[in-house]
Amino acid sequence: MEKEENLNQDDNTKQSTEDNSNTEKLLKEDQTNINKDEMSAEATPEETEATPEETEATPEEKIKELEDKLARTFAEMENQRRRFEKEKDDAFDYGGFTFAKEALNLIDNLERSKLILESDDALKETEALKKTLEHLEIINKDLISIFTKNNIRPIDCLNKKLDPNLHQAMMEIEDDEKEPGTIIQEVQKGFMIKERLLRPSLVGVSKKKVQKDEENKENLDK
């Protein structure tokens, strides 16, 4: 009897041990599953930050960006080349602008010399005056010819309408035969250097006499 009781106790103890082992195993498996669920929840797409590889531009985008930069660089180079070409042309065409303007004083002095000689009573109607004026005229023509060869030409202004871009009015002269604003006197000759104004023509322009009479009448009425 004692032997049977001992056997039964051993079986119960063995069964209890096995039950405890199974319980512990199940608890461990449950804890493992819980940890896996928590890790999955933490790694959801909404909360996961993008890696550098995912935010990096695609090859097509990189190529397009490089093409844009290259196009802008070529455009800047072309603009710079055109600017340098224009500066070079201007330096070649108008580099002697100041010298040419100063050289016009020679023509002015020749004109003044002719007027002074012609107004000298002691020289009037003399052979010496005639020859001197002829030489001065030859010199003047030679100067104009030299200027013309270097693209410096006089402005033709007589009997033309006043152009503020080319002419500077110095006086108004009454003349009923000319339309008002017509150039009827050249005080000083103007010149162009290629397409640029070297100096304007100083001129006198016509105005109607009736304009002055009407102004006087208005002043008297006042």
DSSP for 171-199 reads EEEE-SSS-TTBEEEEEE--EEETTEEEE
pLDDT of residue 46: 46
Q: Count the Cβ atoms, other than its own, within 10 Å of residue 152.
A: 21
State the amino acid at position 197 in one-letter form: L
Q: Among candidates 179, 139, 141, which has minimal Cα distance to 162?
A: 179
Query: pLDDT tens digit string along 16-33?
Result: 555 555 556 555 655 565
For residue 180, pLDDT beyond 80:
yes
For residue 159, pLDDT beyond 50:
yes
For residue 11, pLDDT beyond 60:
no
pLDDT of residue 221: 65
Mind listing the domains of the chain with CATH numbers? 152-213 (2.30.22.10)
For residue 190, pLDDT beyond 80:
yes
pLDDT of residue 7: 45
State the amino acid at position 168 in one-letter form: Q
User: What angle do helix axes 97-118 and 127-149 make, rounded to 10 degrees?
Assistant: 160
pLDDT of residue 200: 93
Full-model pTM: 0.53
pLDDT of residue 167: 93
State the chain's mean pLDDT as an integer. 76
With a CB cutoff of 8 Å and minimum separation 6, the contacts of 154 are 144, 147, 189, 190, 191
pLDDT of residue 123: 81
pLDDT of residue 68: 87
Q: In this structure, what token pair is assigned to residue 91?
A: 């330096």
Q: In this structure, what token pair is assigned to residue 106?
A: 């020679």
pLDDT of residue 97: 78
Q: Count the Cβ atoms, other than its own, within 10 Å of residue 98.
A: 9
Report the pLDDT averaged over residues 2-17. 49
pLDDT of residue 203: 92
Q: Are strands 196-199 and 167-174 parallel, antiparallel or unpaired?
A: unpaired
Q: In this structure, what token pair is assigned to residue 59?
A: 């090859």
Query: pLDDT tens digit string along 47-86?
Result: 445 454 446 778 888 888 888 888 888 888 888 888 877 7
For residue 118, pLDDT beyond 70:
yes
For residue 129, pLDDT beyond 50:
yes
pLDDT of residue 2: 45
